[in-house]
Amino acid sequence: MLKDSKAPLSSPRLWPGLTRKDAVPNSLHLTNRSQHKGLMIDSNSQYSDRTFEGANLNANRLTSSQFYDCTFSHCSFVETVFLDCRFVGCKFQDCDLSLLQVPGSSFSGTLFEDSKLIGINWTHGNWGNNLLQEPLVSIRCVLNHSTFIGLPLKGTQIKDCIARDIDFRETDLNQADFEGTDLAESLFSQTNLTQADLSRARNYTISPEENTLKGARFSLPEAMSLLYSLDIVLTNPNDQIP
């Protein structure tokens, strides 16, 4: 049976908060090895087509800033708070965003590549009013212990990632692509996986009775796990019956 399949879907899991909440500045200095070296990022500001490299913003807070087509490379955002921020068409490459907090923030067409996104509660972001116009894309990332419960993630791509112990309950994953991703211990219950591609995913446990799988793609031998939750007996036709 699906792990915790009978567990209530009342609230997402919570993750540790910041330990230096009272020491958060209103603006952040970035060490940028591009032509914008020493660039300051302020709250309540807007940035377009900027590249930020090597920034270390651990346990800092950024409020009500907007980023359009910006690139963040080799940056550290461990325990950072993005409060009411907006990211459109941005890229995070080789970044550490573990325990990131995203209250009221939105991400449209955002790419995470070769990055760590561990222990993030994405449900605290702003997902209303069709703010997510373009799907999220994660490639070669570590997403363990995060929560997406109930979110609209149609068309999202999670490729070649380690996505263990992820909460996908009640999530809309219509047309999602999990190519090459390890989904061990992740939760799927009342999840919409219509036309999702799990043909090259592995270690998932998904109940056909508790999820919508119309048109979803699976491949053997991993697809055998779909039968484990059914009350059936499998036999080998080549076995001889005494």
SS3 category, 225: helix
Tell me, what's the pLDDT at 125? 95
Tell me, what's the pLDDT at 237? 62
* Cα gap 142→59, rounded to integer Å: 20
Tell me, what's the pLDDT at 222? 72
Single pTM value for the model:
0.78
Question: Is-contact 198 179, C-beta < 8 A?
Answer: no
Strand 27-29 relative to strand 40-42, pairing: antiparallel
The CA-based angle 148-153-156, given to 5 degrees, is 110
pLDDT in tens, the chain (242 residues): 333 433 444 344 443 333 333 333 334 444 333 333 445 667 888 999 999 998 888 999 999 999 999 999 999 999 999 999 999 999 999 999 999 999 999 999 999 999 999 999 999 999 875 444 688 899 999 999 999 999 999 999 999 999 999 999 999 999 999 999 999 999 999 999 999 999 999 999 999 989 999 999 988 777 666 655 555 555 566 665 55
Tell me, what's the pLDDT at 241? 52
* Cα gap 117→50, rounded to integer Å: 22
* Cα gap 195→7, rounded to integer Å: 26
CA nearest neighbour of 165 among 143, 180, 189, 145: 145
Tell me, what's the pLDDT at 225? 65
Cα 2 vs. chain centroid, distance in angstroms?
21
Tell me, what's the pLDDT at 56? 85
The secondary structure of 25-90 as a DSSP string is -SEEE---SSTTTT-EEETT-EEES-EEES-B-TT-EEES-EEES-EEES-B-TT-EEES-EEES-
